[in-house]
């Protein structure tokens, strides 16, 4: 898979994610933030939640910083979303991000 296709797939996946999230207005603000994270914040975490690799990289410090402002319980509503894998997002890995950034941070859905 070439790099351009991968970038397009990532962007498309995040667009679908944001569209799905926006259906639930209590989780989305007028500025487009989702569960307390902006689109830029989510892009910082994308490498750590990508499908297609056996060992994704650890979340970046920028991703971990973004997660400190996130409503993690809010993200539980997307835990079993069947469309995320179609766009390269591994929901299980996404739910593991908080504890990878801070081992004392455990999300309970």
Sequence ranges of the domains in the chain: 3-101
- The Cα 91–Cα 50 span in angstroms is 9
The pLDDT, as a whole number, for residue 31 is 52
Question: Could you tell me the pTM of the whole model?
Answer: 0.68
The pLDDT, as a whole number, for residue 10 is 46
Tell me the CA distances in angstroms from 44 to 5, 67, 78, one per residue in order: 19, 10, 18
CATH T-level fold of 3-101: Hydrophobic Seed Protein (1.10.110)
More reliable by pLDDT, 28 or 72? 72
The two tokens of residue 28 are 């989305």
Q: Which of 15, 76, 87, 12 is nearest to 49 (CA)?
A: 87
Assign 108 to helix, strand or coil.
coil
- The Cα 77–Cα 94 span in angstroms is 12
pLDDT in tens, 30-74: 456 888 899 899 899 999 999 988 889 999 999 999 999 899 888
């Amino acid at each position: 898979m070439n790099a351009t296709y991968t970038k397009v797939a990532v962007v498309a996946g995040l667009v679908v994610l944001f569209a799905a999230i926006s259906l639930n207005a209590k989780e989305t603000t007028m500025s487009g933030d989702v569960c307390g994270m902006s689109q830029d914040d989510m892009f910082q975490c994308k490498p750590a939640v990508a499908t297609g690799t056996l060992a994704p990289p650890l979340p970046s410090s920028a991703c971990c910083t973004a997660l400190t402002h996130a409503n993690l319980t809010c993200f539980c509503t997307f835990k079993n979303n069947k469309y995320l894998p179609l766009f390269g997002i591994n929901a299980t890995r996404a739910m593991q991000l908080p504890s990878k950034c801070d081992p004392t941070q455990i999300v309970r859905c």
